[in-house]
Amino acid sequence: MVLMQIAEPGASETSPDGPRKVGVGIDLGTTNSLIAHFDGDRLSVLPDEAGAMSLPSVAYYGQAEVIVGDAAVVLAAEHSADTIASAKRFMGKSRDEVSDEGYLEFADEGMAFATTRGPVTPVEVSADILRALASRANLAGFDQLDGVVITVPAYFDDAQRQATRQAAELAGLPVLRLLNEPTAAAVAYGLDSAEEGVVAVYDLGGGTFDISILRLERGVFEVLATGGDSGLGGDDFDRLLADHLTAAAALDNLTIGQRRGVIACARGVKELLSEQISCTVSLDHIVAGTGEVVVDRSTLNGLCGELVNRSLDACRQCIEDAGIEQVDRIILVGGSTRMPLIKEAAAKLFGREPLTHIDPDQVVAMGAARQADLLVGNRGKDDLLLLDVIPLSLGVETYGGLVERLVHRNTTIPVVRAQEFTTARDGQTGLLVHVVQGERERVEDCRSLARFELSGIPPMVAGAARILVTFQVDADGLLEVSAKEESTGETAHVVVKPSFGLADTTIAEMLRAGYENAGTDMQARQLTEARVDAEQLAAGIYAALKVDGDLLDESERGDLLSAVQGLEATADGDDVEAIRSAVEHTGKVSELFAARRMDQSIQQALGGISLEALEQEVGE
């Protein structure tokens, strides 16, 4: 494996006697967010004025002010419509992809929340949270930040990553890199241990679940595989328990504010049941006259069992993708992993007791801070190299509706891949490049990312043009695609910024469908490829007959047409081998015609040249 310096282009190294640059890591979470710093010796989470380490990812939008954090949580019950929580779940998504959450009010148009202040987008909410975190750096005495690393779920798609970058830009933060949360956690633990081996990072945050398998060797973290569920998180556990509490207390027709109050209560009950066997809950402060409800840990486990199993299914798939039989260490990330049920399930699946000596709420921010310190140009004896991967394959549509994958899933990033393509029809002067994402063989079964057109192709016969298509995925997992016609130098490109991201669980479903349909997909691909070959051969023969049909006598022409018509009839069927045989047979029948056309072309090329002149030219 080739090691590379992990620094931004143009970043200068800090001299031993020079000032140390300031980089911070930010864990922009669904429920809570944190900011951390590495000073060369110690990793620390930066607190607010009251000493609190975590910042609730909640923002209140009043007519005259924006309030973020604990103060916004206090206002949530009385001003529910103006208080936004869990905005991360909506980042990079369209309004159509979001179901009615039941505790948020959406604006009439677009992906925005309706508040007294007006429509507020998830990006704007995230920007305000980032500003509040940045103010903690000022409190710590850092007047200027040289660079920031922000963590994102490994399964965030391109749109969700772009939305995160936009939020940072709105907040005025100099983002060096978006780092996958599981990878950040592994970095933090790698600093505390000289051990090497395979590490599993089980990351259950407030809104997403990630599982990553990494190999740690001589200071190099290589991500072997990543998986998860972008629609599974601690919020879902809270809502299941909230529904149970609502039913047990016989509460009906709750307002948005009351529903949010029950969910907040459920979250507290979940945390209590991680420490004790049972507890008594009163919802009287939410709905007057409500009696008490007793909840025990076994009830919670029963409610959450299906969600935990969903996470374990993703873990099994990730292990298979990584091509390993066992892991050496397990890291648990996210506050929900404090639940005994999750600790037990993870330990049983991986056959190892999880590491717990770093706070699961802080470990992601700490790892991000370590990377930020490197990326701003600071150097140390414990420098780590990160080799991250992309979660889904990337490719282009080819003739016949097939997918040609240029970058395969679990490819280490950053990466550049290029491949030559050509035109499908004579005289074609333009090419539509359709960029897709997924594991299936046909375009209709994959996700469309972008389309752009390359024009200015010289009119040539089909297959003569040489068009180089290049995919470049940067360290943040963002994609740029370009196409270049080799003879003219004409180029076109697109930075893939789809207007919305994948729906919840879509990525997991795409992967599962890819595995389940691998056999039938390959058969469909072979059939399509055989039909394309037949179509192109028939079209080529018809075009040649139109120009040089007089080179054949009536009988020869009839034999060739009969073969072509038989080929077309066979291509209408579903027998791949029969189509291939028909293509081969038609090719042989056309050999005589092809030879005569070649002879004619040579004679025309040599017209007017004497044998003596030709011999002289060959001699030279």
Span 223-254, pLDDT tens digits: 888 888 877 888 899 999 999 999 988 888 88
Task: Tell me if 435 sits within 8 A of 478, measured CB to CB.
Answer: no
Q: Regarding predicted confidence, which is higher, 583 or 190?
A: 583
Overall size of the chain counted in residues? 620
Q: Residue for token digits 């639940």?
A: 339
Distance CA 438, CA 454 (A): 23
pLDDT of res. 13? 41
User: What is the three-state SS of 130-187?
Assistant: HHHHHHHHHHCCCCCCCEEEEEECCCCCHHHHHHHHHHHHHCCCCEEEEEEHHHHHHH
pLDDT of res. 64? 85
pLDDT of res. 11? 38
Residue 276 gets which letter from DSSP?
Answer: S
Span 79-120, pLDDT tens digits: 888 999 889 988 888 777 766 555 567 776 678 888 888 889
Each domain of the chain, given as residue ranges in start order, spans 23-388, 394-516, 519-606
- What is the average pLDDT across 544-558? 81
61's tokens? 């939008």
- What is the average pLDDT across 383-408? 76
pLDDT of res. 2? 28
Distance CA 33, CA 270 (A): 20
Using pLDDT thresholds of 50, 70 and 90, give the confidence band for residue 15. Answer: very low
Q: Could you give the residue numbers annotated as active site?
A: 27, 88, 181, 203
392's tokens? 């889904």
Q: Regarding predicted confidence, which is higher, 466 or 106?
A: 466
Q: Rounded mean pLDDT of the chain? A: 81
CA-angle at 356, arms to 354 and 360, nearest 5°: 110
Q: Quick check: bond before 414 cis, omega within 30?
A: yes
CA-angle at 461, arms to 460 and 466, nearest 5°: 65
Residue 50 CA: distances (Å) to CA of 24, 57, 130, 158, 195: 20, 17, 18, 37, 37
Residues paired with 101 in a beta bridge: none
Q: Which of 358, 112, 82, 338 is nearest to 234 (CA)?
A: 338
- What is the average pLDDT across 131-157? 90
Distance CA 210, CA 233 (A): 9
Residues paired with 254 in a beta bridge: none
Task: Tell me if 331 sits within 8 A of 201, measured CB to CB.
Answer: yes
Span 594-609, pLDDT tens digits: 888 787 777 766 665 6
Q: Could you write out the DSSP letters of every residue in 65-119?
A: -EEESHHHHHHTTTTGGGEEE-GGGGTT--GGG----SS--B-SSSS-B--TT--
Residue 440 gets which letter from DSSP?
Answer: S
Using pLDDT thresholds of 50, 70 and 90, give the confidence band for residue 445. Answer: confident
pLDDT of res. 509? 59
**Positive or negative: CA dihedral 232, 237, 242, 247:** positive
- What is the average pLDDT across 409-425? 80
Task: Tell me if 107 sits within 8 A of 114, measured CB to CB.
Answer: yes
Q: Regarding predicted confidence, which is higher, 549 or 220?
A: 549
490's tokens? 């004409």
pLDDT of res. 244? 93
Residue 239 CA: distances (Å) to CA of 209, 245, 300: 16, 10, 11
Q: If you average pLDDT over each of 12-16, 307-311, 420-424, which comes out highest?
A: 307-311
Span 2-12, pLDDT tens digits: 222 223 333 33
Q: What is the share, in percent, of the chain residues with pLDDT greater than 90?
A: 25
pLDDT of res. 34? 96
pLDDT of res. 269? 92
Q: Residue for token digits 């040539």?
A: 460
Q: If you average pLDDT over each of 325-339, 547-561, 573-587, which comes out highest?
A: 325-339
Three-class secondary structure of residue 278 per DSSP: strand
For 82-86, 135-139, 309-313, 581-585, which range has the lowest pLDDT when averaged over its residues?
Answer: 581-585
pLDDT of res. 17? 46
Task: Tell me if 228 sits within 8 A of 155, measured CB to CB.
Answer: yes
Q: Which CATH topology does 394-516 take?
A: Substrate Binding Domain Of DNAk; Chain A, domain 1 (2.60.34)
Span 251-304, pLDDT tens digits: 888 887 888 888 889 999 999 999 999 999 888 888 887 878 899 999 999 999
For residue 422, which amino acid is it?
T
* Burial of residue 151, with CB atoms counted within 10 A of its CB: 0-12 exposed, 13-18 middle, 19 or more buried: buried
Q: Is domain 519-606 given the CATH code 1.20.1270.10 in the classification?
A: yes
Statement: residue 485 has pLDDT above 90: no
| Host H or E run for residue 403 | strand 402-407
Residue 425 gets which letter from DSSP?
Answer: S
pLDDT of res. 108? 67
Using pLDDT thresholds of 50, 70 and 90, give the confidence band for residue 497. Answer: very low
- Exposure string of 113-125, with b = 16+ CB inside 10 Å and e = fewer, is bbbeeebbbbbbb
CB count within 10 Å of CB 380 equals: 13
pLDDT of res. 150? 96
- What is the average pLDDT across 200-212? 86
Q: Which CATH topology does 23-388 take?
A: Nucleotidyltransferase; domain 5 (3.30.420)
- What is the average pLDDT across 40-45? 88
Statement: residue 23 has pLDDT above 90: yes
pLDDT of res. 168? 93
* Interstrand relation of 197-204 and 329-333 (parallel, antiparallel or unpaired): parallel
